[in-house]
Structures are given as structure tokens and as C-alpha cells.
Amino acid sequence: MRNLVNILDLSTEEINGLVTLASDIMERPKVYADSCRGKILGSLFFEPSTRTRLSFTSAMMSLGGQVLGFDEAGSSSVTKGETVSDTVRMVSAYSDIIAMRHPKEGAPIVASEVATVPIINAGDGGHFHPTQTLTDLLTIHKKKGRFDNLVIGICGDLKYGRTVHSLIAAMSRYENVRFVLISPEELSLPDYVKDDHLFTGGCEYVETENLESAIPSLDILYMTRIQAERFESREQYERLKDSYVLNKSKLVMAKEDLSIMHPLPRVNEIDVDVDSDERAHYFDQAMYGRYIRMALILMLLGTEGIDDRRLDGKPRPGKSCHNPHCISRTERGIKKLFDEYGKCVYCDQYVE
Ligand code: NCD
């Protein structure tokens, strides 16, 4: 059984296969209209969502399958104190594949340990969001025609932006990809993303607070929302919320073939006057989400017999994860495990 918890669960060949399949689905949707007849997607959203949840629902329905689940934790037994493990164990018995979004980092890992059907991580706290990355990759393929030789500017909340972490993990595997990381210092990229992806991938990157001066060098500008719901203090969010606003005048020095992307929802960070610019690709990006998720569901349902569960780590006597958003702090009955560098296996944060 295959899961998609981290974008690196997929090889680059598998990603190419998904992009090709999604493109074929877009061209010939009727061919796939019955491919999941009789199959059920469990859609477990413990956190708000518009695009991800609805595009998963649309994807399963477009394949002839059905969907059950909930769209807020308040309507599930979580309010009665049920663990993620117990909820997922049950929904495994009612569905053939599960897409889940949860505010706790590492929750999909816990789910994949007990599930008897494939688990898809639809966003876990401020950690990862691999299916948004698949959507981003399909967009990059359609708009730029390549995954290599790109200068990618990522702007906004790089600390809590889970789409950013997964995008960097995916793109750092390609040749000559350079990142320009644009954020206030307080919202800069976490060390675990730098260590596991930028350093490991040997990727060049620069960090800056200045969007205007970065724009002329970019092939892609990936804007992100400041993640209000993850801040420890409202005051800090209020201070940082309008750090960046992309508007038409800031694009004067941009490349003619720049691709402006955003996982959406946007708040203030892209002015609506940019929407009419041919380089604004964020609504196409959201549209591609349906087709790449159709491809993903087909792939995961077609790989029965393979088991990729791997919770690889060791306990450290007397140590537990200090990340307040980590699932290991709230889920009862799971082992607290760390990798050889002292990172929690659930949320990837360093324990020391
Ligand atoms: C993103 C998310 O949920 O992380 N949205 C999405 O899935 N398209 C980005 C965000 O909420 O800012």
C-alpha cells in the first residue's frame, strides 16, 4: 500500500508519470470517468479548506467514485477526545483511500501506521502539503515546460507555509534550481527544510527581505499568505501581516515570461490588479489541482501490494518533542522517536 505523506515519497519518475497522466486526463476526461466506480474516498478535514477538499471531492467524483467524511473537526468524534489513530482505523473500514488534513504536524504519519488503505496528506500543520506541490509541479510543467534551470522566488511566510516546505523538497531534486527566499527574518525557512532539502540537494539559495530587488531575476514568483492561524501571538501577526503586497508597479522590472503562482487563498499579498496580467497563473494552478489529484488517486489505488510504511527512528530516554504543534505531544499511545540527527520523526523539528 502506497501513501503520500511527504512529497519525497514519490520518485521524480513517478512525479513525471503523474504529470503525464494528469495532462491526459485533462485532454480525454471521458476515458477516466468510470475508473474508480465503486471506490470511496474518505475525506477527513480537521482544518478549514476550500481548494484542497473540493478538488479531492471533484477528482474522486470525476473518476466515478464517491466521497464520505467531514469538513471540520467539530463534526467528528475528535470533540469527544478520539485519537487520530482510532478515527483513521475506522474510516479505513469505510473507504478505499483517505485524504486527511490536520493541524498537528506528523498526524498523517500516525494515520499511515494504522490505516489499511492509502493515506494522502492534505496538509499537516505548518509542516508539509505534498498534493499542493503536485499541483504546483503540474503548473510549472504547463507554464515553463521544465523543472530544471529555474530561479524560484518564494515570498511571504516561509516559516509556517507548509506548501513552501514541500515545494522546496520537490524542486531541490532538479538540476540548477536556485531559490530566492523572501521573508521577514521572523518568518524565515525552518532549519529542517534547509538541512534536509537545500543542503542535501546542494541547492543554491539566497535569503532576502526585499521583494522588489529580487523580482528581476526570477522565472517563478511563488507568493504565500502569512499563516495567521499558526502564530503564537496576535500582535506578531498584526505586525507582519502586510509585509509583502505584489502589485502591477512592482512587476515593471519582471521577466516577460515570469510565472506568478500562489497556492491560495490570498489575503492582501497579491493585489487584484495583478489578476489580469498574463503572468498571473494562480487561478490556473488551482484548476490543475483537480486533475493531478485524479492522477494521484488512480496511482495510489493501482499500487496494492506495495507497503511503504516506515517509521524509522529511536527513542531518546527522557526526551520528547518540544514543538507545540507536533502530533507526538497529543496523540495517546504512540512512540516518541527521533532520527540520527535528533529530529522528531513526526514533525522533523530538532529536539535540541
Ligand atoms: C494552502 C494550505 O492550506 O496550506 N492552501 C491550499 O491548500 N491551497 C495555503 C494557505 O492556506 O495559505
Expressed in angstroms and rounded, the spacing between residue 161 Cα and the centre of ligand 1 is 8
pLDDT tier at 12, thresholds 50, 70, 90: very high
Is 336 tagged catalytic? no
Atom of ligand 1 at shortest range from CA of 47: 3
- pLDDT of 81 > 90? The answer is no
Expressed in angstroms and rounded, the spacing between residue 318 Cα and the centre of ligand 1 is 35
Is 343 tagged catalytic? no
pLDDT digits (tens, 9 = 90+) for 85-115: 999 999 999 999 999 999 999 999 999 999 9
pLDDT tier at 318, thresholds 50, 70, 90: confident
- pLDDT of 31 > 70? The answer is yes
What residue owns the CA closest to ligand 1's atom 12?
Answer: 225
What pLDDT shows up at residue 304? 67
Is 255 tagged catalytic? no
What residue owns the CA closest to ligand 1's atom 11?
Answer: 265
Q: Which of 52, 57, 133, 139 is catalytic?
A: 52
Over residues 324-338, mean pLDDT: 95
What pLDDT shows up at residue 200? 86
Is 322 tagged catalytic? no
Expressed in angstroms and rounded, the spacing between residue 315 Cα and the centre of ligand 1 is 32
Counting ligand 1 atoms within 8 A of each CB, the residue from 43, 45, 50, 129 with the most, and so the one to mutate, is 129
Higher-confidence residue of 202 and 211: namely: 211
- pLDDT of 147 > 70? The answer is yes
What pLDDT shows up at residue 65? 98
Over residues 71-85, mean pLDDT: 86
Atom of ligand 1 at shortest range from CA of 227: 12
**Residue ranges around ligand 1 (CB below 6 Å):** 51-52, 123, 129, 132, 162-163, 225, 263-264
Over residues 293-315, mean pLDDT: 86
Over residues 290-294, mean pLDDT: 98
Counting ligand 1 atoms within 8 A of each CB, the residue from 128, 131, 132 with the most, and so the one to mutate, is 132
Atom of ligand 1 at shortest range from CA of 163: 4
What pLDDT shows up at residue 305? 62
pLDDT digits (tens, 9 = 90+) for 251-286: 999 999 999 999 999 999 999 999 999 999 999 999
Instruction: Please give the mean pLDDT across all residues of the chain.
Output: 95
Expressed in angstroms and rounded, the spacing between residue 160 Cα and the centre of ligand 1 is 11
- pLDDT of 51 > 90? The answer is yes
Expressed in angstroms and rounded, the spacing between residue 305 Cα and the centre of ligand 1 is 32
What pLDDT shows up at residue 306? 67
Provide the whole-model pTM: 0.97
HEC letters along the chain: CCCECCHHHCCHHHHHHHHHHHHHHHHCHHHHCCCCCCCEEEEEECCCCCHHHHHHHHHHHHCCCEEEEECCHHHCHHHHCCCHHHHHHHHHHHCCEEEEEECCECHHHHHHHHCCCCEEEEEECCCECHHHHHHHHHHHHHHHCCCCCEEEEEECCCCCCHHHHHHHHHHCCCCCEEEEEECCHHHCCCHHHHHHHHHCCCCEEEEECCHHHHHHHCCEEEECCCCHHHCCCHHHHHHHCCCCCECHHHHCCCCCCCEEECCCCCCCCECHHHCCCCCECHHHHHHHHHHHHHHHHHHHHCCCCCCCCCCCCECCCCCCCCCCCEHHHCCCCCCCCECCCCEECCCCCECC
pLDDT digits (tens, 9 = 90+) for 150-192: 999 999 999 999 999 999 999 999 999 999 999 999 999 999 9
Over residues 205-211, mean pLDDT: 98
Is 101 tagged catalytic? yes
